[in-house]
Structure 1
Amino acid sequence: MKRSIKTKKALMLSLFSIILSIIMLAGSTFAWFTDTATSGKNKIVAGNLDVELYHSNGKAERAKITDTTELFDVDIWEPGVVAYENFEVLNAGELALKYKFTMAIGDFNTVAETTKSLKDVLKVSIIEDGSFNGSREDIASLPFDKTLADFEKEGILNIKNDSDKFAIVIYWQPTDTDDDYNLNNGKTSSDSLPLYIDLGINLVATQNAFEADSFGSDYDDTTEYKEVSTAQDFLNNIYYANSEQGVRLTSDIAVPWSIPQSTKGLSVIDLNGHTLSTSVATTTLIEQNNSMVIKNGNLVLQSSNISGATLSVESGGSLTLENVEFTTEQGAGIYPRGDAAKVNIVNSTIDTKGLAISTNAGSTENYNVQINVINSTISSKQTGAASAILVNIPCKLNIESSNINGYLHGVIVRGGTAVIKNSTITNKTSKDENELEHYFDSRDWGQGNAVNLGALVIGNKHSTNYQYPSDVTLINTKIVAATLDDEAITFPTVYMYGNTGEGLGATLTYDSKSTVGDIVRGNEHVTVNAIE
């Protein structure tokens, strides 16, 4: 059948394929679970994994991709033309997954009597952990060093609602050979139509070795472990470990440095019931786009001061603690400070002197952090200083089936979105902090956790800093505030104060199974929704 120009745009995404495959390991037996449905122009193959893909561009706001979604929509390709999509890959299920995202080349025509086609001239660039808005100025700074055929992106999404965001930009970068593709210069195509190419996007997801479930963390772990018993063994074996290798402790180890990491990007450390500690005050830095997984034992770290973080995650990096008891002898806990840094705390306990988990609003490059706390207990008990969890940037905080205990505050959401399910949030303030209850009545909040007392604090009270909305949803969650029995003083369970700018207020939504107690609304820029 002859193609019509109307239905065959120069670059139209007419094949979109999401392939989700899961391998369940039971002894030496592999079982595949898939369910295939074909509809419209796109084929979707879905198994026990549940992954969703969203996109946005200059014409469309964030939308879930379906079998009829058109992407990279360009009428006519010519030198200098750009098409882009901002993608979000979301783990919507309970199983940990790893994925590979590639472009698939379908049907295309060529310049008559040659092999020249659009796949020769269209180049791809990816913006990791970010988005693109079509800016011509930004085009000049992007590296277009990938062809359609060799572009690929891989990622790991260990926790439900974990996501990766990235932009794909396709560009016909002008060169001195462009005239070879000019059909208005006496040339024709192999089928007398304008040059076109059918592109598909393949999202292939398989189950990741990391798993927090009733089978334990190792039932599907295919990592090859090297056993280590000394600090030097640890360093030698983890340093060159690839993505399929890790280390397993056979005794307690104290390292005289920060925690050693692989130079290959992924560090997997099985504590094997032992204790890993640092003998010096230091911060372990998980560098940009690197990942660290620590599981099955005790982690004891220290810093030189109460506010110094002992674990820090840079842009695009990730940290997972699973079945770990993590304590600090001096200092704070985990500091995801880079753009789109991720922290996953699963079946673990964190007990710190300073802030247990905290973001930093010092730069916009610290935004878009994602924090997941699942089946865990997070405590920060330093008198007069500690809050358990503080987020003060546009980010995502997900807490499920956990206990969060702070001294001044349990959870502070000074920016971003938080969803808290089946959990308990408490603070334990003493009479020494009684004066803090009204300290900020006539003044702006300070930096970080210098805010009104409360088990849960939502919003912001500052005229210039932290100017973004705060949104918290509680599902079957209990908020418990400190009570001073000897002075008959009960602090607020929830304190809210909203920024005054349009769309920058504070919002709390809670269901009928949640217990929120005394909600203090500091100003009129606060919204409280009670739902069934």
Structure 2
Amino acid sequence: MNNKRATKRALLTSVMALVMCVVMLVGTTFAWFTDTASTAVNKIQAGNLDVQLLMRDADGAYVNIGDSQQVIFGGANSLVAQNNNQDTLWEPGKTQVAYLAVRNAGNLALKYNILLNVRDEGLIGALDYAIVPQSKLSGENQTCTDTIASWVDAKGRTGAESGKLTAGTFTAAPNGCLDEIAHDKTNTNETEYFALVVHMDENAGNTYMNKSVSIDMKVVATQAAAEFDSFNNQYDKDAPLDFEPVATADELKAAAAAGKNVQLTQDVTLAEALTFDNEVTIDLNGKTLTTGLNSNGYSLVTKENATIVNGTYKGTGSARGIGAYGNLNMRNVTVDVSGLVGVACSAADSQYTIEDSTIKGGYALCNFSNKATINVSNSTLEGKTVGLYHNGSNSGLNLTVTGTKINAGNNGTDATGVYISGSTATTTAGGYQKASFTDCTIKGNAAVEVKYTDLTLNNCTVIATVDSANASYTQNNNGSTTNGFAVVSTDNATNNTMPKPEGTITINGGSYTGLIGLHSFSEITTKFPGFVDTTYVIN
């Protein structure tokens, strides 16, 4: 009997223990051997593209002359020194050699062209040139000691490029490449050595006496197709080399007149309007292009497709800024003008792309064209009157803005953030204007006012800088009509006629300070009984 009780007691204890185990496991997962792995902080580091032009001096050392403003040949202070002789007086049969080199001083593969800039004062018809490759070396203490024996030797060298000198800037040696750094990071300072040889024809007659010519050299470089991304090493194979380095206003104007792409090598100041009649790439190259023009027109005009990158365009006069009459791609540019307009989109059926840029002006970014497709991303638009403006006479707008601040620094009551206009006529011609803003910050006395527009706002911060208690609505068929509204659709009604806003406003998340919709303004329902607002969809 006692054994039975003990057995029952032990069995009951075991059951209770099992139940407790089950209870403890409820709401948990069964344990497995586990471990975690996490990366360290990942850093994305941009490379450095740095090309240097070197010259062998009288002591045999190669020195960087890339920032020199002296000519290689043709002056009392010429950088050429052979046989301790700086004499640059020429006569038939004379040959001079400049021992030069192009060095990759950065950590990215590069390709380059050698340009000769020749200014003629009567001697050019008697001169020939040759560019003679010598050697290619890498490392810290390498140098080239090869010498040219004669003009005949120069022309006969393997790979030599030779011909008659011509006035202007031309590519004397194309398609150089310094890419060893991409294959072996220890191959620093890869350097290609060459000689520039100039010879005066033995048959040159007396007509060339007392004449002269000046020659200098430029090296233009861009990234080469060598480094790999996740797919291949061809992502930059089309990086262009066909641009003209410019350091002065005269050089810039000459390049524009010649239809060339340009790259600034110095800050440049203009006193007059600059027009590019042909398709162009303008590389500001970290420099500032300044205009002091006073006029009602644009200080910089691009009549065909244009790309503007990497620098600052500053207008200190009353003129408008950039007038784009073709497609425009703008990247990493600051436009800061005192005039009425910062950047104007002015060609029908064109595409305008603004990336990582800042635009400041009376009206910062404007559209004056039909069927324009405009994309703005990660930028800042600061307008004294309006940050982003679309003219109501133009139809078919397709606008997409992401990650952009519009009048975000303006806490006053004198500027509208976004104003997109239209009319019954533009609706007939191209439907409602289309505009989408995502992850944007927008401020203004009326932050966003549209007419005859389908507008979508996704996760935006929108702030009316006029308090809603001081909100107002004043009919106007040629400009904005409201204050104190975060988002509003209006129309072109005048003379106290019933407003009839059209289009659809869709708001998907975000933060909105100020009134939303004309219906939220108490005076509307009092003054215009039976008023019907446009459709607002708030998610």
TM-score w.r.t. the length of structure 1 is 0.44
Higher helix share: 2
TM-score w.r.t. the length of structure 2 is 0.44
